[in-house]
Amino acid sequence: MTVVADGEVRVAVAVVAARLVCRRCGRDENVAAEFTGGACLTVAEARGFVVDGAEVAFDGRCPPCRAVTGGRNT
Ligand SMILES: [Zn+2]
């Protein structure tokens, strides 16, 4: 986040191509998300880097696998 001279607050925003990846069955879903003012963007901004896109993968378990494992992380 940057506060410019006139007091306007600018928040770094990047459109993220995110993936939801199931560790158990390998299901891989693409989702679009808008990522606002995260730590990575703040670091990039501090280094004078303008971020205009990113890709993120979230690992976990999909609903069917959660049902099979009963909530265990296996
Ligand atoms: Zn799964």
Q: Which residues, 6+ apart, have CB-to-CB distance to 32 below 8 Å?
A: 15, 16, 17, 18
Amino acid making up residue 46: A
15-44 pLDDT, tens per residue?
677 899 999 999 999 987 766 666 777 788
62 has a pLDDT exceeding 70: yes
Average pLDDT over the chain, rounded to an integer: 77
User: Ligand 1 centroid to 35 CA: how many Å?
Assistant: 25
Which DSSP letter does residue 67 get? H
Residues at Cβ < 5 Å from ligand 1 ion: 22, 24-25, 27, 62, 65
User: Ligand 1 centroid to 14 CA: how many Å?
Assistant: 28
What is the set of domains in the chain, with CATH numbers? 2-69 (3.30.1490.190)
pLDDT of residue 64: 95
pLDDT of residue 3: 45
